[in-house]
Structure formats: structure tokens, C-alpha cells
Amino acid sequence: MKINEIMLKMISESNGNLADIEHYVKVTCYARMIAEAEGLDEKTKWLCEAEAIVHDISCPLCRKKYGNTNHQMQEKESEALLREFFSGSDVSDEDLERIIAVISRHHSPQRIDGIDNQILIEADYLVNANQSNYQPSAILTFRNTYFRTACGTRMLDLMYAEKLREAEKNKTA
């Protein structure tokens, strides 16, 4: 399944929720940038992009079922939705199982188990830090604890330079 096919299918299934669409499009763009900068092979780059596109597949269901998009509920609900989403496609069982594994813990950075997982955590954080207006100290702590790729770290440093300076200043005060 080509990346553009996955993206169009997710857009279709988003039922016009532009906030959701804009979120995973941004995450996908950042994931692609990081994956390319890391020099990953084509299959791993494809996994990074596919995972980024579908990483929040359970958000609409969680809003309906639980009234929110709690991270634990997203991770819990993802597997069945991903199996249905990729059903009948040419995505291999191996790739589908990897996508499910990564999406089922994409809000659990302490459970990162591969470069594709690392890249999704970083790309999603780059978007979430702005969309959720994270505090400077939280951005600095997450950066120092979980960011590992040179490109992802550089992107965070550039995008959140002012907040990082503020956090460092408050840390020494």
C-alpha cells in the first residue's frame, strides 16, 4: 500500500475533522524528515510514514466511546482499528504487526523499541508540544529524556528555542 493511499484512506475516514487531519499530516511530514536524515532504508522509511499517518486512528472512537482521547484508551483501541484499516491491502503481516506494536504504545516513550518507534515519538511530540501548549520545563525534560535522533533534536531545538531558553533560565534560577 503506497503512502499516498494510506493518507487518502485516513483522510476519508476522518470524516472532515480538519484538526485530526492536520495533526497526522504534520506528524507524517516530521517523521519523513527525521527518517530521511537518519538515512533509513526504504522499508523502514515507509513504516515510519505509515505509522505516523495512522498513529491516532483511535481518536474518533475514543471521543465517541469515552468522551476524550486519553492516551491509554487510544493505545488500547488501536489494534482492532488498524487490522480493519489494512484489511485487504497488500501490507504484509510482518509490517502490520509492527505498525500495531508501535501504535499501541505511541504514548509510552519509555517503551521505545526501534528507530521507527523513536521517530514517531519525536515527530508526534514536535506537533503536540505546540498544539497542547506544553510548558517550557516539560519540553526540556522530554527532550533530554526521550529525544535521540539528531534531526528530531535539532527540530525541537529550533522550533521551541524560546521555551527551551526559558526552561534553562528557570532551572538555574
Looking at residue 163, its amino acid is K
pLDDT over 80 at 74, yes or no: yes
> Distance between CA atoms of 169 and 172, rounded to whole angstroms?
5
Domain-by-domain residue ranges, the chain?
A: 3-172
Distance CA 147, CA 123 (A): 10
Sorting pLDDT into bands at 50, 70 and 90, what band is 75? confident
pTM: 0.95
The predicted-structure confidence for 1-31, as pLDDT tens digits, reads as follows 999 999 999 999 999 999 999 999 999 999 9
Domain 3-172, architecture per CATH: Orthogonal Bundle (1.10)
**CB of 129 within 8 A of CB of 160?**
yes
Give residue-wise pLDDT tens across range 104-136.
999 899 999 999 999 999 999 999 999 999 999
pLDDT at 173 over 90: no
